[in-house]
A = this chain, B = another copy of it.
């Protein structure tokens, strides 16, 4: 019976939010400004995402999706080490092309749903507000973070696969398994990018 939600509006919101983040900075990614850019009302953000925090989270997920696409576009040659290097270049290039999105993905604080409260005070105003927003999909934020985690892990897997090929080719030794090695490489690359920003 109900009127169906327009997926184009949702896509436009994410798209425009990413563009604002990249060209105008994080401080301009506000509810009204975004709605005006998309040409819709502020309510669309709430019907599609539930709030600005959830939207920002979704933009992060989209950022990971694009990063994964960038990494997937790297060709696989016979030289796995060269591939790994190309992966690193693609990673830093992507970070350099939209530094604000990279900030949002890695450097900024995320509205973590607080799975375990520290148990000191107990107000937690915003979290409580989100939890009590609706009864039906009150765990919307948890689902979104799961999405984000899945996407980021998928991105990581690409790196793991590349390092595994390096190890299999006998080019690397792997003390602690390929995942630890990939984590170290990723950490180093991230450190470079973070320093650059």
Contact = CB atoms under 8 A, between A and B. Distances in A.
B103 A118 contact: no
B22 A125 contact: no
Contact of A121 (B25, B121, B126, B187): B25
Contacts of A99: 118, 120
Interface string A177-197: 000000000010000000001
A125 B22 CA distance: 15
Contacts of A28: 123, 125
B187 A125 contact: no
**A100, A120, A126 — which one has the most chain B CB atoms within 10 A of its CB?**
A120
A132 B63 CA distance: 34
Interface string A147-170: 000000000000000000000000
Contacts of A107: 109
Contact residues on A (Cβ < 8 Å of other chain), bracket: 20 to 34
Nearest to A112: B197
Contacts of A23: 120-121
A131 interface: no
A176 to B, nearest CB: 13
A99 B117 CA distance: 11
A29 to B, nearest CB: 12
Nearest to A120: B23
Contacts of A103: 109
Given A27-B124, A100-B118, 5 more contacts: A23-B121, A24-B123, A25-B121, A27-B123, A108-B109
6 contacts: A23-B121, A24-B121, A25-B124, A27-B124, A27-B125, A103-B109
